[in-house]
Each structure stands twice: as structure tokens, then as C-alpha cells.
Amino acid sequence: MITSDGLEKLGFTPNIDFILQDDGNGVYIKKWNSALPQPSADRINIASLEAQAEYDAQAYARARAKAYPSIADQLDMQYHDQTEGSRTWLDAIEAVKEAYPK
């Protein structure tokens, strides 16, 4: 399957190196502008699957980013940890890391 993700994984830039189109019968390369040879549909498909695997492997990182307290809240926690001798910030960060392990 021809995808923009697959072509980008191969190092091509959308709307500069290629333009895709879908007229209802599947995506195809409408225009190829790159000086490099156009890759085969099989090579694009393999690259697309590789890009998806890389994206999927980073699911924990995206989940962690959403779960962490805001920077302002973390700074406030760190201030109170220093002045009160608590572990609020460390506990909050550890809880997120445990909830979304690598």
C-alpha cells in the first residue's frame, strides 16, 4: 500500500518529492518530483510497516507525556519537597513511569 508515512520513512518529503491522490480506488502517486527513482509499492509498504512499528513502540512515551503533571505543578512539587523534606515530585514521576513502563 502506498502511504505518505512509507515515503517519508524512505526520506521523501510530501508535496515536494511526491503528491499522493486517492480517487476512491486506493492511493497512488499522482506526481513524482524527486530526482531519485520512485520506489516500488512493495518498498513503500515495507517502509510504512516499519514506520508504524516505530510509532507503536513509542506508545508508552506518548502515554507518559500525557500523564505527567504540568511543568508548573512539577516545579511546585520540587519546591515543597526541598522546603518540607517530602517526596511528592519523585512519587508523582515514579507513579507515571510505573503505570507506563518501557
Q: What is the pLDDT of residues 34-75, one digit of tens each?
A: 999 999 999 999 999 999 999 999 999 999 999 999 999 999
Cell numbers at 88, concatenated: 511528592
What is the pLDDT confidence band of residue 77, given thresholds at 50, 70 and 90? Answer: very high
- Write down the pLDDT at residue 54: 97
- Write down the pLDDT at residue 5: 97
Q: What are phi and psi of 47, to 5 degrees?
A: -65, -35
Q: What are phi and psi of 32, to 5 degrees?
A: -115, 115
Q: List the one residue out of 45, 39, 37 whose CA is nearest residue 2.
A: 45
Residue-wise pLDDT tens digits, 12-40: 999 999 999 999 999 999 999 999 999 99
4-57 has which fold? Answer: Phenylalanyl-tRNA Synthetase; Chain B, domain 1 (3.30.56)
Rg (CA), the chain: 22
Q: Where in the chain is the domain with CATH 3.30.56.60?
A: 4-57
**Which residues, listed in sequence order, are joined to residue 19 by a DSSP beta bridge?**
31
